[in-house]
Copies of this chain bind each other. A is one copy, B any other.
Amino acid sequence: MTNSEIAVKTVLTAWQLQNAQVDKLIDKLTDEQWMSDTAPGRNSGIYLLGHLTAVNDGMISILGFGEKLHTELESVFLFSKDKSGQTMPSLASLKKSWKEINATLNAHIELMSTDDWFTRHTKVSEEVFANEPHRNKLNIIISRTHHQSYHLGQLAYL
């Protein structure tokens, strides 16, 4: 394996490990736990699940895999904070969206070559990318993994 192949594989393995942690929480936590707050007055479990699901949905688009599957999640879970009075989808439908979105992501990820990961993501232009080659698809996986870890630390309090 070349160094770039090793780097890509390591980053992807870490990403999938974090997603598996969320899967484990879905299996383990009761609905009552998901509906409660991670700390008094802080993000609820269901909000964080919706937020992580909406962020993963956005990855389908930013990685050039296609259109988002659930744009209806944006206004509640990306553009609004928890407890802002928005109506949330049911917990069951969020769990289903989480699995569906991740299955779609993984199907595309499996088809990517190492070099593909170093091409630009869809939110950066060719011109800008020529001078900022770190704004590539691999970077999206890295930053989204950190984002997920951050909220997993909060979900651990449920």
Contact = CB atoms under 8 A, between A and B. Distances in A.
Contacts of A1: 133
A149 B14 CA distance: 13
A142 B42 contact: no
A4 B143 CA distance: 17
Contact of A14 (B8, B13, B142): B142
Interface residues of A, number: 38
Interface string A1-22: 1111011111101100010000
A12 to B, nearest CB: 10
Contacts of A18: 146
A79 interface: no
Contacts of A156: 150, 154
Counting from the closest, the 4 A-B pairs by CB-CB distance are A153-B153, A39-B39, A149-B149, A150-B153
Interface of A: 1-4, 6-11, 13-14, 18, 38-40, 42, 114-115, 118, 133-134, 136, 138-139, 142-143, 145-147, 149-154, 156-157
